[in-house]
Amino acid sequence: MSVVAVPGSKSITNRALFLAAAAEGTTVLRRPLVSDDTEAFAQGLTALGYDVEPGPAEWRITGRPAGPAAAAADVYCRDGATVARFLPGLAAAGHGTFRFDASPQMRRRPVAPLAQALRTLGVDIRHEEAEGHLPLTVVADGIKGGEIELDASLSSQFLTALLLTGPLTAEGLRIRVTGLVSAPYVEITLAMMRRFGVDVVRDGDTLSVPPGGYRATTYDIEPDASTASYFFAAAALTGREITVPGLGTDALQGDLRFVDVLERMGARVDIRPDATTVSGTGRLSGVTAAMRDISDTMPTLASIAPFADGPVRIEDVYNTRVKECDRLEACASNLRRQGIRVDTGHDWIEIHPGTPASTEIACHGDHRIAMSFAVAGLRIPGGVTFDEPGCVKKTFPEFHDAFGELCRGWGL
């Protein structure tokens, strides 16, 4: 059995950074993820005037419930969607002029639902170029609060941004949600808000966020479940066994449910309070999986699908088309380059059994494409190469080293 120490969750680390910055007092974050996205978030907070002290095993953040200390700031979000979608809400709760820009990749991704919601609440949002995209400027004078309607069918991050901002408004927020994808990420947000002293009331599709702010705390960051999916898939694909400690029955992240899909395909899964183990059985069965709520693991499944004994159909994943790249199309095109028959539609992909050829994977600058197809390389004579191997820095800079060490341990 191999035990893999997966780095901390990006989703949890960046939510915790927001909450810590907004809280009264000093928060200690233990075992945060150190990656391009989390460094961008921390540097964004620093630009806004927050006190962030990174260390080797923990970060300390001194909060400012009144909003950014800076009267003006220019925040560069790099490739980080959570940076670009969460920090404008934090800035809007303060007083000043705050500009947000990002990489060309992130400029292409939408921020319109968040911008429109903040405008409805009276915040002055200005787009410099394409409407609904970065760069944008927030001219802030606090947020009164009130009622808004939000379509979060493209990304749950828009809803999370407003939920996180709600306690910083004068009167609180009532958010009626008309569409939602990746719902487990919203559950992460609500659970973390409770840890920082705020309870959100849910009534059907409406969430009510009280005013009053957050309280600082000490918070342990659990391992990243999306990253763990690559190691779990490796075990299922090769007939080996992998245990990831720190991800168990009490894990916040919905992406741990990826192991349920592997179990349906024939792997053995053991989820304990403090760890999850996946054991390959030497076979993978075809499966149909609706992955709307765990769509970040869609490329992981797509990469190993050719090795199943029947077609693998992944449904309800339109939102993967508006990630770092069009992930559905990126998976399809890479699989076809490997000689695999693939059919696609608006929100689905079906992958047929075959023998993938060794080829260079087109990453499209997307960390999840690179890490997913590294898994398939374990069963491909000659393996695979990548046109942009360094794109993994977004969430797991040491991925190639960690995966290589695992392979050497297995004699692959």
User: How far, in Å, are 139, 219, 372, 400 from residue 267 at the CA level?
Assistant: 53, 33, 18, 24
Closest by CA position to 230, among listed 298, 159, 331: 298
Angle at 59 between CA 56 and CA 63, to 5 degrees: 165
**Cβ pair 354, 340 in contact under 8 A:** yes
Is 296 designated active site?
A: yes
List Cβ neighbours of 304 (8 Å cut-off, separation of 6 or more): 233, 236, 237, 284, 375, 376
Query: Is the alpha carbon torsion for 151, 157, 163, 166 positive or negative?
Result: negative
* Rounded CA separation 150/133 (Å): 17
3-state SS record for 101-134: ECCHHHHHCCCHHHHHHHHHCCCEEEECCCCCCC
SS3 395: coil
Q: Phi and psi dihedrals of 265, rounded to 5?
A: -85, -10
Closest by CA position to 10, among listed 87, 90, 80, 60: 80
Find the catalytic residue in 37, 79, 296, 366. Answer: 296
User: How far, in Å, are 12, 59, 114, 299, 397 from residue 253 at the CA level?
Assistant: 9, 21, 23, 17, 21
Terminal-to-terminal C-alpha distance of the chain: 15
- In one-letter notation, the amino acid at residue 362 is A
Q: Which residues are catalytic?
A: 296
